[in-house]
Amino acid sequence: MMKRVAIIGGGASGLMAACFAAGGGNSVVIFEKQKKIGRKILVSGNGRCNISNRNLSPDKFHGKNTRFVHNVFGKFGLEQTIDYFSSIGLPLIEEKNGRLFPASLQSTTVVRLFEYELARNNVEVRTHRKIERVVRSGNSFKLVTAGHEEEVFDSVILAAGSCACPPAGGSRDGYDLAAQMKHTIHEPFPAILPITIPLKIVHRLQGIKWDCALSVVHGGRVIASSEGELLFTAYGISGPASLDISRAVNEASTGSGDPSIQIDLYPGYRHHELETLLESLWSDSSKPVSFSLIGIMKTPMPEVVLRIAGVDPDRKVGDLRREEKKKLVDTLKNFVLVPGKPRGFNEAVVAAGGVDVDEVNPSTMESRIVPGLFITGELLDIDGDSGGYNLQFAWSTGALAGMAQR
């Protein structure tokens, strides 16, 4: 029997849910408060849309109960996602670290193909429609918009996204609606975003990209690590390697004690190998030590690293004491930075926290509290690492919620 299905939110999981629900012969309406659907998709992957990752695994995700992720991907995982996008005319290509992108390398392609599928399946899209209340009435739901419009549906898929990235539509609206329906909300916090480093001298490295290994230390133990490209910015650090540890940094910053970030600027060298490399650069004892390093570091890294190591950049190589040489090597292998106050949701790619997944069926995304209500994507207390994992979770949960309408 055909159902009337309301989908609140026209982001990744909402669009996927709409296509699968309508494909089952249902009457589907998307309510999107922005003027266009798919705004977060458009800005994802620097405008290229990092759709998923070949290295998909539950251990790439975080939350109070990550077993939920395993169950979700067991029902609709990477291969089903690849097959679906191929079926709508969107083949994927693989780049570094398993990241999957549309062959067009344009996020606009993804949104345009979804728009075509919605039209083909007679999905009604209503933009500038903010849902203020969802009221359960018998076996149906009454939706009330901010403009006091009311409409009744058989089921509701809540796909309103998180409060990350407000410029692209992020807000607390979805949490508020879930809370109205008596769901537990774990307080959101920014998960993937740049990191502020208050130490001013580091800001001189703005614009430099460097392949390195990072570790976050808190309470005397390593709580997160990553390897890859680090980007120094005007206020601290960013880039893939930094984004991968930012969640751990932010979460640790809310507890007792400050976390620190340890950077190995030369992960390909063991300690004694780096010592040998530096000694080979110091054959000319009359060189200033900063000048002796320009062959292996980008300017102004030599001066900044030396000052942090407590070595005068203008000292002659021949005047370096043994302990100064050792301190320099130690700094290159363990460049320690203390993060400042976490940056806000405006710069966050995703938010951690959200609806408690123990209250949601991972096979269908149906609420265990309110039958007929389905919750998907970033609204749930699951967040993934940088690299396409969060979009994959959105596609999977949206597809399962849509299929559950059949």
Nearest of 384, 372, 354 to residue 173 by alpha carbon: 354
Return the DSSP state at 387: T
Predicted confidence (pLDDT) per residue in 325-380, tens digit? 999 999 999 999 999 988 899 999 899 999 999 999 999 999 999 999 999 999 99
Predicted confidence (pLDDT) per residue in 198-233, tens digit? 999 999 999 999 999 999 999 999 999 999 999 999
Give the chain's residues under pLDDT 70. Answer: none
Domain ranges of the chain: 4-190+350-403, 194-343
CATH superfamily placement of domain 4-190+350-403: FAD/NAD(P)-binding domain (3.50.50.60)
Pairing of strands 124-127, 185-190: unpaired
Q: How far apart are CA 110 and CA 378, in angstroms?
A: 19
Note the pLDDT of residue 1.
Answer: 75
Consecutive H or E run containing 248: helix 240-253
Token pair recorded at residue 68: 């939920």
Provide the total of helices (H) and of strands (E) in the chain, helices listed first. 12, 21
- What predicted TM-score, i.e. pTM, was given to this entire model? 0.91
Pairing of strands 27-32, 61-62: unpaired
**SS (HEC) of 275-342:** HHHHHHHCCCCCCEHHHHCCCCCCCCHHHHHHHHHCCCCCCEHHHCCHHHHHHHHHHHHCEEECCCCC
